[in-house]
Amino acid sequence: MFGYRVPAPDEAMLISGGRRGLGGAPFRVVTGHGKFVLPIFRKTRFLTLSMCEAEVTETCVTRQGIALHVRAVIAFKVGNDTESIINAGQRFLSDQDQMSVLTGRIFAGHLRSIIGSMTVEEIVTERQKLAAEVLDTSKTEMAKIGLIVDSLQIQSIDDGDVGYIDAMSAPHKAAIQRQAQIAQAQATQASVEAEQVAARNQAEYARQTAVVKAEYSAEVDRAQAQAAQAGPLAQAHAQQEVLAAQTELAQRAAQLRQQQLVAEIVKPAEAEAERIRVLAVAEAERMKIQAAAAASYDRVALDRMLIDQLPQIVKEAAGGLAGANVNVLNGADGLGEIAAGLVGQGLTILDSVRQNLSGSDHRPEKDNGPLGLPGHLTGPEKGMDKKDGPRKPTDGPVAID
């Protein structure tokens, strides 16, 4: 619409003419909305509110007397409040580029002042502290001209040909180089170890591969050998089974033949032997019975013969006493005892003969007397002492000289 003006978002519209602005300012400030401005009667100007930049390159002397070349960059803008816009508009509206020039000069002065109170070591190692102090000291002054500083960056600090900063950094450089060399050596060692580990792994893998191949080859060889031996082994097993069957058949035939031999030879032989043994036993019993009968008959006949010969034996004994020198001590009684002794001796001889006949099969033979009969006394006669001389007269003993 004709006469209606609207400022840009990063601009402030300054309307002069007519009523004065806030605080007796020669213009009214309009931001963020439009305003109807009467042509010819009102004049409209625009002040930028966007970010501006100022660069500072200054040679500053430190507290140690060492000159340093400092380069810094300041980012600033006009404040958003009406007061800041009025202050900036009154100073820079006709030549807004002067804002960067003036800002650079202000910060250059504050930068020289602050660096002069610091050492090189502090400046180099504490740049953030330097920037903060410069901002604090310049804030009030910048506010008076309607500007605010967003940031201050110290881009470079150089001592020229003095070499102070290089000398100061030499130990750190050496330490860094040493650490770098150590790191490089460690990296090299790690690389070598990694290569060795990789080589060992490759060798181990190759060994395992060779072992697996050898095992596979051995299994193939075994399978081929087993396949080659399968036929002969099967034939050998078949022959072995045939031999086993033949052996079992031969054993059964031998057992059958043995049973046949037992039935045909052994059993008849045992039966024949048993028959012969029974016959022999029977024959022995018969002969024993016959021998016993014959012995009994002979004893009867001998007894009869002895009885018949007994008077003759007594007579011969008495005849033997006829030439003997016999002294009868007690007369007729003594003579009777002698006769009785002779008769008893005859009976004794008879009994002895009988016993010898009955035990002739198992007792040794005795010496025969003069009469050819066993048991004949060759020493002193019964009733006689072994010593010469008559017995003591007890029951009428007889003494024989």
Give the tens place of pLDDT for each residue, 199-240. Answer: 999 999 999 999 999 998 999 988 888 888 887 878 888 888
Strands (E), 265-314: none
Structure tokens at 89: 């508009």
User: What amino acid occupies position 110?
Assistant: H
Three-class SS state of 71: strand
Confidence of residue 260 (pLDDT cuts 50, 70, 90): confident
Three-class SS state of 14: strand
The reported pTM is: 0.41
User: What amino acid occupies position 26?
Assistant: P
Q: How far apart are CA 294 and CA 398, in angstroms?
A: 43
Number of residues in the chain: 401
What confidence tens digit (pLDDT) does each residue in 320-371 have? 555 555 454 555 555 556 556 655 666 676 666 566 655 554 444 444 444 4
Confidence of residue 298 (pLDDT cuts 50, 70, 90): low
Structure tokens at 285: 């019993």
Q: Do 51 and 44 form a contact (C-beta atoms < 8 A)?
A: no
366 contact partners, CB below 8 Å, separation of at least 6: 356, 374, 375
